[in-house]
Chain A
Amino acid sequence: MRELRIHGRGGQGAVIASKLLATALFLEGKSVQSFPAFGVERRGAPVTAFLRTSDGPILLRCEITKPDGLIVLDPTLIAAVDVAAGLKDGGSILVNAEGGPETFPKLADRFRVGTVDASAVAREFGLGSKNQPIVNTAILGAFAAFSGIVSLDSVCKAIESEVPYKTADNVSAARAAAKVLRISEAPALAGAATREVSRG
């Protein structure tokens, strides 16, 4: 079983992202369970959402405190909250950021880090406003390439079935973001070297 945590700010689509990812994994025949942090949400405030996925049935119905991976929709959260809290050794983090993984040295020292400028991609496809782009579909496209646990095609299919508004633009954003992902290899393997990847 893999457990993921998604960090965002209210309005960025973190909860929808967890649902879309669950749907994409479900389309691949996996067991899935996704849920928001159980609380009271406000626009702009930090929001978290969670996902479990497994080949077998998922029985756990409690909170996720030790995730295997993170998706961070807003780079300012890294300074504001301890996003890596509980992240397992060897875990991975995908951040929506302009800079590469080397701009997060504290994280890149300990974890496999990927970055993608999902805000720029979302703006390019007119998702949300210029100042508050809705980045969830873009970052999920990059997550498919980053994690390898779900295919980009499944992410796009999930968007087609679950996103009624600007569906084609959201699919295009997911595909575009997957092409501009930057990854630092896991520290133990290759230091914090950065490479560009390109996956269809």
Chain B
Amino acid sequence: MKKVIVGNHAVSWGVALARTEVIAAYPITPQTQIVEELAEMCDDGRLAARFVKVESEHSAMAACIGASATGVRAFTATSSQGLLLMHELLHWAGLGRLPIVMADVNRAVAPGWNIWTDQNDTLAQRDTGWVQLYCENNQEVLDTTIQAFALAEKLSLPVMIVLDAFFLSHTSEPVDIPSPADVDAFLPPRNAALKLDTSDPHAFGALTTPAVYMEMRKRQQEAFDQVPEAYRLIDADWDRRFGRSWGAIESYRTEDADTVLVTSGTITSTSRYVINERRERGEKVGLVKIKMFRPFPTEPLRRALAGIPKVAVLDRNISPGHGGIFAEELRSALYDLPSSRRPRVDGYILGLGGRDVTPDVIGECLDATRGNQSSSSSREDLWVGVKP
């Protein structure tokens, strides 16, 4: 069934089709519609889930941790300050190996108070032990929400799906909503190996001494190492059933390219428009979209970018004192390539706090990188569209 819906409701539909059993959330713009719709679904019987209203995002994540530990499927959604307030508990979910799924609508961090899109809220959670998947359109949002539960439960890792404020959250477009029976066949009920059960008591979260803590961490890392292959299989299964796949990364018109954009989120979509226009003019340009930020898809990116002379990374985020976060991660991933095959990586900071990223802005980045004849990477990112 195809329906014109906003990105927020694409999340809600995905959560409902996944037959999520516990939803705990606290409202925050621009996420609120996700849980509003879920609350209505719980109320009118479309979704048989327990909806837990809580007094803060910290409590929302705590409730999800408790629910997930009992073996049920748990979900929450948040944005910006709400996600930052959860930070402590994100580690609890991560190292607790609880397959919670959360949607974060990317929103800039205050001050100044800003409700518009920016990736700093989610990227600040990089090291909390959550898989992060960024989306480009509402169809990808719905599909990724359901895939996220399969991935989370396969490896006992929490998964965060990420969508841009307004450009996805409040934008309506046609979305193919799969049938419940087809989703049930793809995603069976959760079968937790370990769970809180009053008839078979175990202790969770006990004191973990230096004798065992490091092994816990190593197992977590080993689980992350398995994510790319696990996601590849889940995505392929999704493709077989529903005719769509997304990939941890995607190469778009990179054949014979001399310059490639590296993008995430909705900037990818507008960048495709720019690439199409430039290709029509005979320019050899392409793009690589990064969907999976954690774990960072190092091997796929090396394969996609080795031998391409110039790369321009568009970062709607900033690590103060270092630079654009995707650019830095990418430079690190490509460092081991032989120098003859290693692209020069230019970084661009743009679109912060929801500033519009138009085809002209993207074209400016592409032109600057194509025109730059230097053979070595500059460590200094260029700020685009900033007033003097």
Contact = CB atoms under 8 A, between A and B. Distances in A.
Interface of A: 18-19, 22-23, 26, 31-36, 38, 40, 58-63
Nearest to A25: B4
Contacts of A18: 172
A58 B166 CA distance: 16
A31 B272 CA distance: 16
A36 B164 CA distance: 14
A132 B231 CA distance: 52
3 closest pairs, A vs B, by CB?
A61-B266, A59-B273, A38-B166
A35 B269 CA distance: 16
Contacts of A63: 356, 358
A83 B267 CA distance: 28
Interface in B273-307: 273, 276
Contact of A62 (B2, B272, B356): B356
B172 A19 contact: yes
24 contacts: A19-B4, A22-B4, A26-B174, A31-B174, A32-B172, A33-B171, A33-B172, A34-B171, A34-B173, A35-B171, A38-B170, A40-B115, A58-B173, A59-B269, A59-B270, A60-B273, A60-B359, A61-B168, A61-B171, A61-B266, A61-B267, A61-B270, A62-B358, A63-B358
Nearest to B275: A59
A34 B167 CA distance: 10
Interface of B: 2, 4, 115-116, 164-168, 170-174, 266-267, 269-270, 272-273, 276, 354, 356-359
A23 B276 contact: no
Nearest to B30: A38
B282 to A, nearest CB: 20
A62 B276 contact: no
B3 to A, nearest CB: 8
Nearest to A18: B172
Contact of B166 (A19, A35, A59): A35
B316 to A, nearest CB: 12
B173 A33 contact: yes
Contacts of B276: 59
A62 B362 CA distance: 11
A115 to B, nearest CB: 27
A102 B272 CA distance: 43
Contacts of B357: 62
B147 to A, nearest CB: 22
Nearest to A161: B3
B269 A61 contact: yes
Contacts of A38: 115-116, 165-166, 170, 354
Nearest to B267: A61
A62 B270 contact: yes
A23 B273 contact: no
